[in-house]
Chains A and B, each alone.
Chain A
Amino acid sequence: AQSVTQLGSHVSVSEGALVLLRCNYSSSVPPYLFWYVQYPNQGLQLLLKYTTGATLVKGINGFEAEFKKSETSFHLTKPSAHMSDAAEYFCAVSGGPTGFQKLVFGTGTRLLVSP
């Protein structure tokens, strides 16, 4: 079975600081990996995805993530945090016997940005 572990339910940064949200996955087959963002009282919005090809993927709002197979990781980064980045972030994996349409989500990391 596939699974995702997000380290840290809350991450606090100052505006302008580096954002690093950690995600490790478990999958018996080459995974497809996703990061979604959820703003308060809204649905989830796709930030970026890795399927095949280049392991460093760039997404919206200046975020990027790197797929590292040897570390089974897909950490999300942004060089400089903005106040508007405060939200909950979910890492997700798909693939394997259940197919690529079935996403397994992590428990989420709430990003807090202080002035």
Chain B
Amino acid sequence: DARVTQTPRHKVTEMGQEVTMRCQPILGHNTVFWYRQTMMQGLELLAYFRNRAPLDDSGMPKDRFSAEMPDATLATLKIQPSEPRDSAVYFCASGFFMDRGDSYEQYFGPGTRLTVT
């Protein structure tokens, strides 16, 4: 049963600290997404990658957030420095997308619940 995995599941940190969230996409998927979920804003797309290359990070605050895919099995989302307003659940999702014939489905991980005090 292939799943997207995310670590850590929960993170509590103090304002100003660096936070790194990790995601392992489903093997064979070529597209990885990072979302943020809050009560106020709902689900927001932060960034996504195709074949490890960033395609769109327009939803991400550039000054403090960064997303990378060091290899095909690992995606990271970093916040430095963290702020209380970054408190949210961060989801990673993966899927296989090509111009034609793909399923258009995204498979979500369980999320990382971040609390910044």
Contacts and interface: CB of A to CB of B under 8 A. Distances in A.
B interface, size bucket: 20 to 34
A94 B104 contact: yes
A77 interface: no
Given A101-B31, A102-B45, A107-B42, A43 B109 contact: yes
Contacts of B43: 44, 90, 105, 108
Interface string B61-73: 0000000000000
Please classify the interface of chain B as helix (H, G, I), strand (E, B), loop, or mixed, using the class held by over half of its residues. Answer: strand
Contacts of A98: 56
Nearest to A45: B108
A103 B48 CA distance: 11
Residue of A43, A49, A90 ringed by the most chain B CB atoms within 10 A: A43
A29 interface: no
Interface residues of A, number: 23
A68 to B, nearest CB: 20
A69 B111 CA distance: 34
Contacts of A106: 42
A81 B106 CA distance: 26
21 contacts: A36-B108, A41-B110, A42-B110, A43-B93, A43-B108, A43-B109, A44-B91, A44-B93, A49-B104, A51-B104, A90-B43, A98-B56, A99-B97, A101-B48, A101-B50, A101-B95, A101-B97, A101-B104, A102-B45, A103-B106, A108-B42
Interface of B: 4, 31, 33, 42-43, 45, 48, 50, 56, 91, 93, 95, 97, 102, 104-111
The 4 closest A-B CB pairs, nearest first, are: A43-B108, A105-B43, A44-B108, A101-B97
Interface of A: 32, 34, 36, 41-46, 49, 51, 90, 94, 98-103, 105-108
